[in-house]
Structures are given as C-alpha cells and as structure tokens.
C-alpha cells in the first residue's frame, strides 16, 4: 500500500502546465513529503484496525449465533467489539483528515514555489480543506472528486461573498500594513505632513497619485492571478481527462482503468 501511494505521488509530481499569466508547476519537490507520509501511515493504521475489527466481529457473530439466549459472555464480547468500533471511528477521522490534506497538498503543488498564489493557497488552507471535505462527503463518483473540488474553489473566488475571494486575502493584508504612514487611521506626524504637501506641492501630489495608481494596478493584477490559477488548474484537469479517454490508463494487471492517476 505504501509503495502504491509513493507511486501515486510521483505520478502527480510529474504534471505541469504553463500560461502567459499564471504558471502552475507540479513537482515532487513541491509536494510535501510529510503529507504523503501522514496519509500512508493513516492508511496503514486503518487497514490494521479494520482487519482486527473484522476478525473480532466474526468471532462475536459466531458466538451470538451459537447461543439462543443472551449470555454474560456475549455481553462481554459485544462490549469489547463496541470499543473497537468506537476506536475505528477515531482512526477513520484521522484518515479523513489526512485525505483532505493530501488533496490540498496536490493543489498547492500546482503553484510555482515562492509565488503570491502559493502564499494565498497557504492563507486559505482551512477554507480549501472545508471545500475538499464537502466534496468528499457529497460526491458519489470518486473520479469527480478533484474536478468538483477545483470547480467549487474557482466558484468561491468569483464573488465577494465567496470564501476564497481575493478580498479575504488583500483586505486583512492592507489592514495589517502599518508601514503606510499616509493612512488617515494611522494619524502620525507623517500623515499630517503628507496632507499639507498634497495641498501645497503639485509635484508631490502628482508623484503620490502615480504611486497609488501603481499600487492599485499591482493589486489588480495579483487578484487576476489568483482567479487565473483556478482557471488553468481546471483546464489542466480537463486536458488530462481528454488524454485518458484517447489512451486509457492500465492498472498493474494490464486492465484498463478510468482513474485520474494510476497508483501503479
């Protein structure tokens, strides 16, 4: 199992796409190894727990079927099995958490390292995980998990009320920037001197206007990069699916599979 997931990570890591506006690069170095290791470990523990619980359940089933009336030993075994099932629920939750992190780690690996988009993905990590969780809980087709996650993320960037809208990144960032002495809320000596020069010095006023326009234009472009990232991610996904329809993947036994990425 661990070997299969290592292969899966490597196959994902080789994916890349570029665009004139936004560059997305998937590489093994971008994909957090700790995320992979955590998922593999969660799966290992889940398998062990499921096997132990199944074996215990089969013993309890045999005991219950062999007795026609309730027994004290039956109650002991049922109580023990119930405790195992409760523990299994906690292990399942750990696995679910690792799966969500794995999906977000993959999406993050599509962004070029040390870029604004990668910073924004980190900023929205909780929101991204919530979206991935909603998709995992609602979809009935496993092959659509990534597509639906990307589509929901893209949709959440388009509207001011969306959880991934760029306002939710840039507005708090601006409010936290106390290095801007000309903010009226800051009301420093520099602010009052600045206000006086705006009125009395046309050259200063023009330079300040240009500076503000450049700052505004830079932020506008950065906001576009954020939305464009999701557009390109969706295009990338659709290209992969189109290629697979033309040349279906095969599993380790040579059988055709419709999986987005083969773990073999």
Residues 131 and 150 in one domain: yes
Of the candidate ranges 12-21, 54-63, 185-194, 252-261, the one whose mean pLDDT is the lowest: 12-21
158-161 long-range Cβ contacts below 8 angstroms, 24+ apart: 158/227
For the chain, what's the residue count? 264
Q: Say what the pLDDT of residue 60 is.
A: 93
Q: What is the mean pLDDT of residues 76-80?
A: 94
The closest of 47, 46, 51, 41 to 6, measured between CA atoms, is: 41
| Residue 12 neighbours by CB distance under 10 Å | 21
Of 110, 128, 159, the residue that ends a domain is 110
The closest of 81, 160, 167, 59 to 123, measured between CA atoms, is: 167
Q: Is residue 30 included in any domain, yes or no? A: no
Q: What is the mean pLDDT of residues 18-30?
A: 42
Q: What is the mean pLDDT of residues 35-53?
A: 92
Confidence of residue 195 (pLDDT cuts 50, 70, 90): low
Residue 168 CB contacts under 8 Å (≥ 6 apart), including other chains: 124
Residues 125 and 204 in one domain: yes
Residues 117 and 234 in one domain: yes
Q: Say what the pLDDT of residue 48 is.
A: 93
Confidence of residue 214 (pLDDT cuts 50, 70, 90): confident
Strand partners, 17: 24
Q: Is residue 235 included in any domain, yes or no? A: yes
Q: What is the mean pLDDT of residues 191-206?
A: 60
Tokens standing for 251? 């599993």
Tokens standing for 236? 């990338």
Highest mean pLDDT (candidates 127-131, 136-140, 222-226): 127-131
Q: Indicate left, alpha or beta for 26 from its phi (over 0: left) and psi (-120 to 50: alpha).
A: beta
Of 59, 88, 110, the residue that ends a domain is 110
| Domain boundaries, position 141 | 113-245
């Amino acid at each position: 199992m661990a070997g299969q997931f290592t292969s899966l990570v490597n196959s994902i890591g080789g994916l890349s796409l570029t665009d004139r506006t936004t560059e997305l690069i998937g590489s093994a170095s971008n994909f957090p190894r700790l995320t992979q290791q955590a998922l593999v470990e969660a799966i290992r523990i889940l398998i062990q727990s499921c096997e132990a619980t199944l074996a215990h359940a089969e013993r309890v089933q045999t005991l219950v079927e062999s007795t026609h009336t309730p027994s004290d030993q039956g109650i002991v075994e049922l109580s023990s099995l119930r405790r195992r099932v409760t523990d299994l629920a906690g292990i399942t939750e750990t696995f679910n958490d690792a799966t969500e992190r794995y999906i977000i780690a993959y999406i993050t690996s599509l962004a070029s390292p040390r870029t604004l988009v990668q910073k924004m993905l980190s900023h929205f990590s909780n929101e991204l995980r919530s979206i991935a969780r909603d998709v995992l809980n609602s979809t009935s087709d496993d092959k659509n998990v990534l597509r639906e996650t990307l589509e929901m993320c893209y949709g959440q960037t388009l509207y001011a009320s969306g959880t991934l809208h760029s306002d939710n990144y840039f507005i708090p960032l601006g409010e936290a920037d106390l290095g801007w002495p000309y903010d009226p809320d800051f009301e420093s000596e520099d602010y009052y001197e600045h206000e006086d020069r705006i009125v009395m010095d046309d050259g200063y006023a023009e330079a300040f206007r240009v500076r503000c326009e450049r700052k505004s234009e830079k932020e506008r472009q950065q906001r576009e990069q954020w939305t464009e990232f999701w557009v390109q991610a969706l295009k990338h996904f659709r290209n992969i699916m189109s290629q697979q329809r033309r040349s279906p993947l095969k599993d380790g036994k040579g059988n055709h599979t419709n999986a987005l990425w083969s773990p073999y």
